[in-house]
Amino acid sequence: MDRFLNLFDLSILTNAVIIAIPALICITVHELAHGYTAYKLGDDTAKKMGRLTLNPFKHIDILGLAMILLVGFGWAKPVPVDIRKFKRPNAYMAITALAGPLSNILLAVPVMFLFFIVMPYENLNAFLYDYTFGSPSIIYLIIFRMALLNVMLALFNLLPIPPLDGSKVLFSFLPEKVYDKLLDYERYGMILILFLVFSGRFLSVDILAIILVEPATYIFFGIADFVQSVVAYFV
């Protein structure tokens, strides 16, 4: 984990660019996936509000953007979903919720391969593990962070804490009256998330780091090891 954090020990401006660009792309794709899935399942609320777009300015939440710049991880403005427009409210809400994390996993895969394509093979091992080949290009850093951040965002949103996507999937298995009641307490879950982030626990060695950051890091570097082995075999 330390090697990942140390990689971004750059100037404030450069670091902000490396953080903001991947984050905006990741959360925009995430929210678009929610809105488009809801639309295909019968809810046109997001479409009417102009949220079925890749324009990040339509999805930006001011506090979430500030958190992205301050701690490197934040959130977008949630896409509105009217569960009453679904023929099967609980099931369709679960599908809509899962679409966000799934979109990030699907985006992470081609971004990872793009990283392996643009990074010269002779520098790949040094970049991933030692950082001994000098100051890496900002393009390498942006692509690298985007790949890792997509995995982190997917795992983060699958946590069963309201209003995260994982809670909506979990709640969908409950009776409708209980489901509606739990939705009323979503704001308290957000307070919990904010507390964890502002307390500094999100990026330290605690339960969230163990659940979220470490698995995402190991997934990425596991793929890196595999690709390197394949490339080495043919080279």
Q: Give the domain range for residue 30.
A: 2-234
Instruction: Report the range of poorest mean pLDDT among 1-5, 191-195, 229-233.
Output: 1-5
Work out the average pLDDT over 49-69.
87
Interval 16-46: pLDDT, tens: 788 888 888 999 999 999 999 999 999 999 9
Interval 176-220: pLDDT, tens: 776 666 666 666 777 777 676 665 544 443 444 455 556 666 666
pLDDT confidence of residue 135:
56
Asked whether the predicted pLDDT for residue 111 surpasses 80, the reply is yes
* Number of domains into which the chain is organized: 1
Q: Rounded to two decimals, what is the model's pTM?
A: 0.76
pLDDT confidence of residue 174:
77
Report, as residue numbers or ranges, the catalytic residues.
Answer: 31
Record the tokens describing residue 99, joined without a space. Answer: 């679409």
